[in-house]
Structure 1
Amino acid sequence: MEFNFKDIASVSLILFSVIDILGSIPIIIDLRKKNNGELKALQATIVSGILMVAFLFLGQEILSLFGLDVASFAIAGGLIMFLLGLEMVLGIDFFKSDPETSHSTVVPLAFPLIAGAGTMTTLISLRAEYSQASVLISVLINLIVIYAVLRASKWIDKKLGATGKAVLRKVFGIILLAISIKLIKTNIILG
């Protein structure tokens, strides 16, 4: 296994920008609030990691098995992100939490926010350009950052205050809407 630190740094930064865990803080805070203060940080991180690694190795094959292409998958993920953005901007709840399920914060947190269509299509692209070892190490680095942000979300929530959360929620909601529209538009053109 060959370690190229420049490649690891490049791939880590690419994944970090695509995953955008810092931009997801308002959604994470909302999910925590919807689930009575509960957020399964370790579970969401592990599920995200499994999804990313599985898609790294089997992404094209999984999509082909269902007769899907990457563009269709990206459009579906974009639609889910669009609904999350609408929730943030308009205050409408599309994703209801079920108190009887223990994985209620994993969806939509692990998928589509962390290991969503953008992340998965990026992994397919990275696999073609970088070594698997570099991509795997970069996924692990990003999972550590994701876990740290998820664990610190209660502290971040307290530091922001009600006004800070409201402003951050609206701003990142609009950004999420724009990202989802770009993802959908780009993949409609490609598809």
Structure 2
Amino acid sequence: MDFKFVEILNSTLILFSVIDIFGSIPIIVDLRKKVGHVQSEKATLAAFIIMILFLFLGEFLLKLFGLDLASFAVAGALILFFLSLEMILGVRLFKDAAPETASIVPIAFPLLAGAGTLTTLLSIRVEYKIENIIIGIVLNLILVYIVLKNTHRIERFLGKNGLAIVRKVFGIILLTIAVKLFKTNFFIDI
């Protein structure tokens, strides 16, 4: 095991930006209004399982389709770029159908462990050790669980403007991460 504080911190912050749990509070609040109770424990555990499985099996799946990790990292950088634009500009580029229940499907997937998160996991795997990424996942999901349990309090504390500021700040961080991933992996095979 090769635990490195800098890698743990970086993977935690990258995943925090992509998962964007604070930016998702308005979505979670809307879900609660539509369907009632959000199953925080179940959603967090399901997101953990999805992320860990993809972290370990994602590369195998890529090889199965004849793809390499650097190409996936570049594709992931492009997805992160567009996700960051959504956060910064307040526009919606990716559109999903509205869920009928607030269970594992809308919360764990795709809200927590969606395409951006899964792409990011494989992308950062190029740069960081797996054990440091797993710690980053766990730290993020602890925060996710706390947020899911306290959505109403956080919403009242930050207010609409506070949530918008948090979302834009993490959008800029995510944009910077996307540029770095692209720059690091684009010229690998050339």
TM-score (norm 2): 0.70
Structure 2 unaligned segments of length 5 or more: list them.
Answer: none
Residues in 1 aligned to 2:134 and 2:175: alpha-carbon distance in whole angstroms: 29
The aligned amino acid for 1:17 is: L
Residues in 2 aligned to 1:150 and 1:22: alpha-carbon distance in whole angstroms: 16
Contact kept, 8 Å, 1:18 with 1:119, in 2: the verdict is no
Question: 1:141 Cα deviation (Å)?
Answer: 5.2
> Which residue number in structure 2 is paired with residue 154 of structure 1?
152
> Which residue number in structure 2 is paired with residue 107 of structure 1?
110
Query: Alpha carbon RMSD of aligned pairs, Å?
Result: 3.5
- 1:68-93 Cα offsets, whole Å, 9 max, x none, are 11122222222222222222222212
Alignment of 1:48-67 (within 5 A): 48-67=47-66
In the alignment, is residue 126 of structure 1 matched against residue 129 of structure 2? yes
Question: 1:65 Cα deviation (Å)?
Answer: 0.6
Question: 1:44 Cα deviation (Å)?
Answer: 4.2
TM-score (norm 1): 0.70
The aligned amino acid for 2:153 is: W
In the alignment, is residue 16 of structure 1 matched against residue 12 of structure 2? yes
Change (3 A) 1:178 1:135: closer
Residues in 1 aligned to 2:156 and 2:175: alpha-carbon distance in whole angstroms: 26
> Which residue number in structure 1 is paired with residue 71 of structure 2?
72
Residues in 2 aligned to 1:69 and 1:119: alpha-carbon distance in whole angstroms: 14
Instruction: Tell which deviates more after alignment, 118-127 or 31-40.
Output: 31-40
Question: 1:159 Cα deviation (Å)?
Answer: 0.7
The aligned amino acid for 1:29 is: I
Residue 53 of structure 2 aligns to a residue whose secondary structure is: helix
Change (3 A) 1:54 1:73: same
Change (3 A) 1:182 1:101: farther
Instruction: Tell which deviates more after alignment, 32-41 or 65-74.
Output: 32-41
Change (3 A) 1:152 1:72: farther
Residues in 2 aligned to 1:184 and 1:88: alpha-carbon distance in whole angstroms: 19
Question: 1:45 Cα deviation (Å)?
Answer: 2.5
Contact kept, 8 Å, 1:88 with 1:173, in 2: the verdict is yes
Alignment of 1:39-54 (within 5 A): 41-54=40-53
> Which residue number in structure 2 is paired with residue 143 of structure 1?
141
Contact kept, 8 Å, 1:75 with 1:188, in 2: the verdict is yes
Q: Percent identity?
A: 35
Change (3 A) 1:55 1:22: closer
Instruction: Tell which deviates more after alignment, 84-93 or 15-24.
Output: 15-24
The aligned amino acid for 1:118 is: T
Change (3 A) 1:17 1:98: same
Residue 187 of structure 2 aligns to a residue whose secondary structure is: helix
Q: How many residues align?
A: 181
